[in-house]
Every structure is written in structure tokens, then in C-alpha cells.
Amino acid sequence: MARARGGPTAGPKRDSTPARPELIPATGSGRYSVRLRRAVITGLGLVTPAGSTVEAFWESVLAARSAVRPVQAFDASAFPTRIAAEILDFDPSVYMDRREARRMDRFSQFAVAAAALALTDAGLDPLPPSLPPDRVAVWIGSGTGGLRTLETQAETLLRDGPRRVSPLTVPMMIANMAAAQVSLKWGFTGQCGGPVTACATGTTAVGDALRLVRSGEADVVLAGASEAAVTPFGFAAFCSAQAMSTRNDDPEGALRPFDRTRDGFVMGEGAAVLVVEEAAHAAARGARVYAEVLGCGASADSHHLVQPRPDGSGAALCLSRALADAGLAPEDVGYINAHGTGTPANDAAETKAIKLAFGPHAYRLTVSSTKPVTGHMMGAAGAAELAVAALALHHSTVPPTRNLTEPDPECDLDYVREGPRRLGPDQLRASVSLSLGFGGHNEAVVLGRWNGRSVPEAVLPHRPPFVFLDRVLEVEPGRRVVAVWTPPADAFFFPGHFPGNPLVPGVLLVEAMAQAGAVAVLTDPGRQGSLPLFGGIDRARFRRPVRPGETVRLEVELLQMKSRAGRGRARAVVGEDLAAEVELVFFLVPAPA
């Protein structure tokens, strides 16, 4: 199933969503256009207590079949909590050889297995010729890292002395090694690492993946998280914090999100990896798409080490930012996969957060927690729950919340108590996964139903050779653009400017800034069909000469734009030096057919 290093074949929104576009030729027009880079989910890799295939996992989630059992990994008889959701049938030799497995902590083994499953599910093992390994990023985090390795090696130190501690302790223990092992196994050379935001880690990773795709830094990102904290030390720590349920006599009924009798979470373990892929790349290879990643948001409670802000305002800010990034109104969302840990503080605060962010629409949303099925997979929970949010869109079905038998009056939303619920496309256009982590970390990712609609473009009016922008780095549609341009040494721009000219004429520098300004104008959906004509400059200051071959960063901010005229402030920067700053004047005219 998994291929060893060298296995892959190496090859040579919404309109209102702030995104990072790329320049492409506009077919048949002789012009250039700006295309917003969008991200879609094309593969799911799930190693969970509820199943390690997409089908088995989804079946367990819909059936609300709990994987919580008495602890098997160690003798838990002395602990207040003696139940967990463990992966009892995991065999690392299915995904790696025994030597590799011995050099990995269990959390890294889970991550490699989930990555293998995700690549296979996406049809990317081996990689197609269109996808070089340096265009694949690996962004897999962990809340606790190699806790089992740390625990066993600490025991070795105390029992046998320092010389007996394994030299592999650090590379097995540190949290970045899940991503590193995936990169090593498949030879991916794009950005590699992962976040550590406690129980929000998996959600953070997928939000980061969206940014990597939007920015053009990657075409594919393996994003998610892995956790293996069902150890004596992990249990002792959380039991001391009084965070876990003590319903040991009723394992399957212990984790009770939003229920009046809830008394804490139940620890789980596992990994979830999502293949987040640039939409045009996925379409070109005919990939199956589960959902589009529309936006993400984050915030900090800045309130308490482990407790959420009681009024829900921190998580509400995170949700509002995610909606804004996605370009959605609250009414566009049909389902929220809640953090829903079953702790008294979390569930009440999370309910308040949803009400603050969604207003009256909160009572029309479907909300559910799937943690009673999987256990709380800690850092990996958010990635697994994003898979649920994607599958809900893909199958037009919302999973239920198990064990909600006595609703808490403070938790008064529609938590889908009765069983899985089918929703039509108009009812379920978008879903959200929300995660909250110790330390006040709040993360939300918004997913949308994928219908293969064309990528929005804004056509630039200039024809070569007067197209100077090499790459657009940032766009706030209708407001701000950051682009780069490297003037070639051998260009022949116009009579009087000869190839090999040691300096770039100031008029060309201004023209490049004007082109960046045109992108800012045309990415405003309300101005499509117009042609921004560059009408002149004001308050020009040229600070240093620009030479061919130097990379120029062009920053343009529109100061005002009325019906047919506007002004913008532009800067040209080389390295850390300001080369020029001007005010540009634009006039809008109807674009010719």
C-alpha cells in the first residue's frame, strides 16, 4: 500500500475571498488574467478507533457506534479514569518495514499510515508527472508528540542510568517527526513541519494548508495531525487535571457532549491526514473532490491555561474570521462539527460562541459532536472531524451526537440527537469544523460543497510586452495588491530603450505599479467588465535606480474608487530599499468586446 522513498514518479471562492492568485495567459485574447488559487480535499487518510478506512470510519460515525472500552495499553486500575478509545488492531508493518517502525514512536507510525491511506485515496501514490516532489508540502502536527518514547526512556534513565538512554530518543519524541517521517518515506521536498496548538492542532494544520495552496508555495499539502497519548503518564496528567470522565462502568456512554450529566472527555488516539490540493491541478488530473476548503480563522482566548472563555467570545471571533475568509454569510452554513468534548466548561462556552457568531441562524444550524464515537483524539481530533465535515457535504448527511439524553438548558441548539439526518444541497452548502485547545487556541475551517465551478479570473488590459508582473503574492479584492516583477536584462521595451540598458526607465517602473493597481481594481467583482486606464501620476518620488535582473516588490493600495475614477498609492521596493513611491490615477471605461 505504502511506497518507499523514491516511489513517486518525479516530474520536471469565491470572488470575494482574499486569496493569492497566479498570472496565466488569457486564452486567445493576447491578454493576461489573474486566477485565484483555490484548494480542495481530494484524499482522506484515517487511522482511528472508529475505523481505518474512509468507509468504515463514516459507517461508525453515522451509526454513532462508540469505540470506547476499558484501557488495554496498560494496567489502569489505579487511575480515576480507566477507559479510552484505543486502536487495538493497528499493525505498522502494513505501512512500513520493521526497521522503520522501530525508529518511530507510535504517533509517527499513525501519521505514516494515515498519509499512505490519504495518498492512495487521492490517487497520488505514485505522484503523477505533473506533480514534482518539491510541490508537495507535509504539514502534520501533534499535541504531545512522542509521549510513549519520553515515558519509556525516562524510566530507562532512572532505572539503568544515562548511558542506557536511546540515541533515537529525541528524533522519536519531538512533535515534528510525524511530518518528517512522511517526507522521508515518500521523498517530498516541499515545506515540512506542523503546528502544535493542543487539541486544535489538526484544524490548524488544514487552515495552514489552505494558505500554502493559496500562496502558490504548494500544489498539494498532506495536512493533519497524529496523537498517541494513551500512556500511564498521559493518563495521570489528565486525571490530575480532572478533565476526563470517570464513568468507568459505562464506557460507551461516558462521553456525553452537551448533556446535563456530562463529566469530562474520554481519551482517544490516532491520526487523520487530508490531501489539500490546488483546485485547477485536481481538475486537470480528474481527481474526486470531497469538498472545497473555503476559509479558515483563528483566535486566542487569552483567558486561562485550560479553560475556554466562559462567554464564548474567543471562539466566536475565530468562527467570524473563518466565515469572512470564506466569503460566506452565517446563513450559508448548514452544519458545524463541534469540538464537543463533554466537559462542563467547553460545551457551554462553545454553544455561546456559535450563537454569537451565527446570530439567529444558530438555531437553524445542525451541530454535532462525533467524539463519543472516536474518543477525543487530542491533537488529531480536528483533522478527523474535518474529514467528517467533508464527508457530510459529500454525502449530504449530517452525523448524530451520541449520548445526548438529558439536554443541558444552556446547550439549546440542534445537536442532531435522533440519528443521521439527510439534508438537501440548499440546506447543506457549507460546513464548519471548530476546535478549541488548551492555552486558548481557537481554530475553525470552513468547507464548501464542490460543484466544479470555474476559477474566477480578472483580465488585465495590457498586452505583451507591457505585462510586467511575474507573480501576484497577495490580493485584497478591490483594495490592495502585492506583486513582484524582475525586469529582464535583454528586454526591448520601446524605441530608445535598448537591450542591455544598465538602468530600468522610470516610466516602466510606474507602468509596472499601474499594472498591479489594475489587478486591485479588477479583482473587485463589482468592476468586472470595466477597463482601468492609467491616467497619470502625482507626488512621484524616485529614491534609487532599479537595474535589470533585480526583483522589485510592487505594493499598491487603492485610496478611493468612485464610479469612474480613483486614486491609489504605490511603492516599488528592492530588497529593503524603497525605489519609488507615487500616487496613481485611474479611470474606468467599459471594456471592449
> Which of 3-17, 308-322, 361-375, 511-525 has the lowest average pLDDT?
3-17
Average pLDDT value for residue range 141-148: 97
> Which of 253-262, 457-466, 558-567 has the lowest average pLDDT?
457-466
Separation in Å, CA 397 to CA 5, 68, 238, 250, 394? 38, 24, 34, 28, 8
**CA–CA gap between residue 325 and residue 17 (Å, rounded):** 6
Query: Is there a catalytic annotation at residue 376?
Result: yes
pLDDT value of residue 256: 98
Higher-scoring residue by pLDDT: 310, 469 = 310
Nearest to 485 by CA among 462, 521, 516: 516
pLDDT value of residue 500: 52
State yes or no: pLDDT of 341 exceeds 80: yes
State yes or no: pLDDT of 32 exceeds 70: no
Grid cell in block for residue 300: 486566542
State yes or no: pLDDT of 457 exceeds 70: no
pLDDT value of residue 495: 42
**CA–CA gap between residue 44 and residue 290 (Å, rounded):** 9
Marked catalytic residue, from 281, 376, 394, 441: 376
pLDDT value of residue 503: 79
State yes or no: pLDDT of 416 exceeds 50: yes
Separation in Å, CA 109 to CA 166, 375, 525? 18, 19, 47
pLDDT value of residue 223: 98
pLDDT in tens, 216-265: 899 999 999 999 999 999 999 999 999 999 999 999 999 999 999 999 99
User: How does DSSP classify residue 268?
Assistant: B
Query: Is there a catalytic annotation at residue 199?
Result: yes
pLDDT value of residue 16: 36
Confidence of residue 14 (pLDDT cuts 50, 70, 90): very low
Marked catalytic residue, from 192, 199, 296, 411: 199
Confidence of residue 454 (pLDDT cuts 50, 70, 90): very low
Average pLDDT value for residue range 511-529: 78
Mean of the per-residue pLDDT values of the chain: 87
pLDDT value of residue 575: 87
State yes or no: pLDDT of 491 exceeds 70: no
pLDDT in tens, 45-85: 999 999 999 999 999 999 999 999 999 999 999 999 999 99
Confidence of residue 28 (pLDDT cuts 50, 70, 90): very low
Grid cell in block for residue 405: 439524553
Marked catalytic residue, from 192, 296, 318, 339: 339
pLDDT value of residue 468: 63
Q: Please report how many Cα atoms fall inside a 13 Å half-sphere around the Cα of residue 557, on the Cβ side.
A: 4
pLDDT value of residue 29: 40
pLDDT value of residue 516: 87
pTM of the model: 0.76
Average pLDDT value for residue range 96-123: 97
State yes or no: pLDDT of 172 exceeds 70: yes
pLDDT value of residue 490: 56
pLDDT value of residue 98: 94
CA angle 387, 388, 392 (to 5 degrees): 120
E strands, 206-258, in order: 220-227
Query: Is there a catalytic annotation at residue 411?
Result: no
pLDDT value of residue 496: 44
Higher-scoring residue by pLDDT: 280, 97 = 97
**CA–CA gap between residue 575 and residue 187 (Å, rounded):** 33
